[in-house]
Amino acid sequence: MINIRIIIFLLLATVCFFLLLRYQGRLENKTSPLGIVSLEFAGSPAQVKEIRAGWKAENKLQRARNNILLDFLFIPFYSMLFYTLCGSISVRSRGFVAKAGVMLAFGALVAGLLDFFENILMLFSLGGLVSQLTVILTSFFASSKFILLVLALLYVIPFGLVVIIQKLAYGKSSGR
The CA-based angle 78-80-86, given to 5 degrees, is: 100
Q: How confident is the model at residue 91 (pLDDT cuts 50, 70, 90)?
A: very high
Chain segment 54-76, per-residue pLDDT in tens:
999 999 999 999 999 999 999 99
* More confident of the two residues 102 and 171: 102
146-164 average pLDDT score: 96
pLDDT of residue 176: 47
pTM: 0.91
- Full 3-state SS string of 65-103: HHHHHHHHHHHHHHHHHHHHHHHHHHHCCCHHHHHHHHH
- Coil, helix or strand at residue 151: helix
Q: How confident is the model at residue 159 (pLDDT cuts 50, 70, 90)?
A: very high
Chain segment 111-135, per-residue pLDDT in tens:
999 999 999 999 999 999 999 999 9
Q: Is residue 107 within 8 Å of 95, Cβ to Cβ? A: no
- Is residue 88 exposed (0-12), middle (13-18) or buried (19+ Cβ within 10 Å)? buried
Is residue 2 scored above 90 in pLDDT? no
Is residue 155 scored above 50 in pLDDT? yes
